[in-house]
Amino acid sequence: MCIYWSAMNTNTCDCPNCDCSVEAGAIQRDGKSFCSQACANGHPDGKGCGHHGCDCG
């Protein structure tokens, strides 16, 4: 599980392979919330979000 997480937050990144939680300042795209630009862009270069413990990408 991704460490990029807030105990007061239960919203997760809308990237289908990401377990990260998102905060109020999350990246918004098409009505969805993402933890990083990589997730919001659909990982075009195959790189993950970069948060410790997350294997998306």
Domain boundaries, the chain: 1-57
**The two structure tokens encoding residue 21:** 């939680």
- Coil, helix or strand at residue 18: coil
Mean predicted confidence (pLDDT) in 14-31: 91
> Which among 1, 20, 11, 5 is positioned nearest to 38, based on CA atoms?
20
Q: How is domain 1-57 classified at the CATH fold level? A: Ribosomal Protein L24e; Chain: T; (2.30.170)
Q: What pLDDT is stored for residue 35 in this prediction?
A: 94
* Entry field: residues in the chain: 57
Pairwise pLDDT comparison (26 vs 3), residue with the higher score = 26
How far is Cα 14 from Cα 42, in angstroms, rounded to an integer?
A: 10
CA distance 54 to 33: 16
Query: What pLDDT is attached to residue 23?
Result: 84
Chain mean pLDDT for the chain: 86
Split at pLDDT 50, 70, 90, the class of 46 is: very high
